[in-house]
Amino acid sequence: MDIVCLSSAYWDEPLWTNKQHVMSRLAHSNRVLYLDPPLSWIGLLRNRKSVRGPWGRSFPALRTKMEGLSVLSFPVLPLERFDPVSRMNLSICRFFLNRAVRKLHMTRPVIWVYNPLFWKIADNLPRSLLCYDCVDDFSAFPIYKKIKQRVIREEERLCRAADLVFTTSQRLYTGKKTLNPATYLVSNVADFNHFHQAGRPGVIPEDLKKIPAPRLVFAGAVSSYKLDFALLRYLAEKRPSWQIILIGPVGDGEYVTDLAGVESLPNVHLLGFKPYTEIPDFLRGADVLLLPYRISEYTESMMPLKFHEFMATGKPLVSTPLPALAGYRSLLAVGENHGEFLAAVEKALSGERDEMKTRRIETARENDWEKRISTLLRHVREAVEKKRQK
């Protein structure tokens, strides 16, 4: 198939999300045109911390990133919130998209949408299918706070227009099913073989090795709209012998990050961004893995990629009460509040049965990317065939 992906994440983001994981795998047997989110030059200059765009690149740019996958980047006008500018940007986006589709000789592609704000740019393309892959509560992102109602309105229109809607959590599924009966729950998963390496003997990076045990590790976006820094501060102050290690870029996806003072604590270590290939080595050195997410409008609909990635290591896992993890509570410890979270970490550090490690690993093995891609493609092919028969 030919697939045009309207993404909400830049292909070259340092932290890959499900958009890059899905499209890179679909490109093995299909042709994919991946559209970076359009952003104005003013937005690029103002938000260079929170939006990792294609710096130093001429626009528009169509690049081949791997066999079967091309990435298109282009700028739009600032002040998108005003209707005349929004209409002009729609025309700009359509022009560059149509030109790229012609250049790649794509015919009747599947339009695969992650970004509901820009789904209309593919309106005038002959297509075989319109698919919305809803992986987050898009309207709850802090960078869309000023246009939240517009995001909600556009997402509802997209859901009703789509031939197919995928969701990654039960809460997202329940909300979207009321808008489109062809809605399916296909949860986030992990690259099992990659992260399973962390459960085996091997290298521990020097900047982690020099930090004494016990090490409590989180690896991902270190952002205040996701992580509960007040909780991390509580753990660090109550147990000064515990070493809390945060691996990942600070402030990803938000304008301002409030670390609640954790960066000044001697037993909290912000190691910054590490390449994807090295993450298993850092997880190998962990005594307990943490999912210290804030409970908020955004996280209540989130199924974190980190969950199955951490599960693949087999290591003890402690989380805040994310609704999407309710069905997995026999495999991890959950702290409903700060005190319970601390007690759960203490219990995890005291040791557990080998059976728990085995169960985590087997659950992660059953939830890998190949299985998810197979499920997505099955639904897409069935929907395409159904349209042909009409």
Cis, peptide link before residue 280, omega less than 30° from 0: no
Same domain? For 333 and 353 the reply is yes
Q: What is the mean pLDDT of residues 251-280?
A: 91
Contact 39, 92 (CB under 8 A): no
What is the extent of the structural domain holding 231? 192-365
Distance CA 47, CA 13 (A): 14
Q: What is the pLDDT of residue 338?
A: 98
**42-52 average pLDDT score:** 43
165 in the same domain as 218: no
Residues 13 and 161 in one domain: yes
| Average confidence (pLDDT) over 64-88 | 81
Same domain, 185 and 282: no
243 and 121, same structural domain? Answer: no
DSSP secondary structure of 204-250: --HHHHTSPSSEEEEES-B-TTTB-HHHHHHHHHH-TTSEEEEES-B
Same domain (yes/no): 211, 123 = no
pLDDT at residue 53 above 90? no
Q: Using CA atoms, how far apart are residues 301 and 104, in angstroms rounded to an integer?
A: 36
Residues 206, 279: one domain?
A: yes
Do 139 and 284 have their domain in common?
no
Domain CATH for 336: 3.40.50.2000
Q: Are 57 and 180 members of one domain?
A: yes
In this predicted structure, the answer to whether residue 54 has a pLDDT above a threshold of 50 is: no
Same domain, 253 and 301: yes
pLDDT at residue 144 above 50?
Answer: yes
pLDDT tens digits, one per residue of 208-243: 999 999 999 999 999 999 999 999 999 999 999 999
- Over residues 110-119, the mean pLDDT reads 94
Same-domain status, 230 and 117: no
In a shared domain, residues 351 and 374: no
The number of folded domains in the chain is: 2
Query: Quick check: 47 pLDDT over 60?
Result: no
